[in-house]
Structure 1
Amino acid sequence: MTSPHIPSVPIEEVPAEFDAAAPWATTAPAPALLVDVREDDEWRLGHAPGALHIPLVDLPPRLDELDYDAQIYVICRQGGRSVQAVQYLESVGFEAVMVSGGMVAWQQAGRALTGDDPAAAKIY
């Protein structure tokens, strides 16, 4: 799902640092965060190793976990929740973009996945 009014990037433009279990804020070339807004059960099945998990419903009370100076990449399963999250984040002053195709596209692109059982991590 995409929207012409919501900034988005393809999977290929998401920094490779998120393929590794690294600190959430990267340093090069600028601070960046990958925020996964899916539900807990989806997260447990599989997610990007360097992502920060904040379910969409929990985003407003957890804004203090985000950096206003960071480029924020928002991801969900396919894009619906990311659109809502990016709209909200931009309305409160963050620079955010949705990741087109979400975690389905992430898995299709062969990007790293981890989960409760890293050997069996999956999105679909």
Structure 2
Amino acid sequence: MTSPHVPSVAVEDVPTDFDGGVPASADTPRPILLDVREDDEWQLGHAPGAIHIPMVDVPARLDELEYDADLYVVCRQGGRSLQVVEYLTHIGFDAIQVRGGMVAWQHAGRPLVAQGDQQAKIY
């Protein structure tokens, strides 16, 4: 799911140097991958270095995000990330939707990790 009014990018064009939002230097923050899926979805599999804030919690947890960083937002397939990107860009973040979500991420062979010792999977 995409919108012509919301910046978006294919999973292949998303950087992989995420470190939970920790800046690369004082002048250049690392890009942030914000995963807005629910806890059970996150535990099954997520991108290494992503920040997990379920969609409903985003407004209350904005202080965990960096205004100066490129903020890539991902969900399972694109519906929730579209809404979150609309909200974040409205309040001043440089937010970008990851088209196809974590389903496209796994399909493209991008790295995944899971909670515990289970094998990571999205679908």
Q: TM-score, normalised by structure 1?
A: 0.90
State the number of aligned residues.
Answer: 121
Moved more, 27-36 or 101-110: 27-36
Q: Does 1:27 align with 2:59?
A: no
Letter in 2 for 1:109: A
The one-character-per-residue Cα deviations of 1:69-103 (angstroms, maximum 9, x if unpaired) are 00000000000000100011011110100001100
The Cα of 1:31 is off from its aligned counterpart by 2.8
The Cα of 1:12 is off from its aligned counterpart by 1.2
**What corresponds to 2:4 in structure 1?**
4
**What corresponds to 2:106 in structure 1?**
107
**Whole-angstrom CA distance in 2 between matches of 1:40 and 1:52:** 12
| Consecutive aligned runs of 4 or more in structure 1 exceeding 3 Å deviation | none
Cα contact 1:36–1:54 (8 A) shared by 2: yes
Q: What stretches of structure 2 of length at least 5 have no aligned partner?
A: none
Name the structure where helix makes up a greater proportion of residues. 1
Q: Does 1:54 align with 2:88?
A: no
Pair 76,118 (structure 1): closer, same or farther in 2 beyond 3 Å: farther
**What corresponds to 1:116 in structure 2?**
115
**What corresponds to 1:40 in structure 2?**
39
Q: Which secondary structure state, in structure 1, belongs to the residue aligned with residue 62 of structure 2?
A: helix
Q: TM-score, normalised by structure 2?
A: 0.91
**Whole-angstrom CA distance in 1 between matches of 2:5 and 2:20:** 30
Q: What stretches of structure 1 of length at least 5 have no aligned partner?
A: none
**Whole-angstrom CA distance in 2 between matches of 1:118 and 1:4:** 40
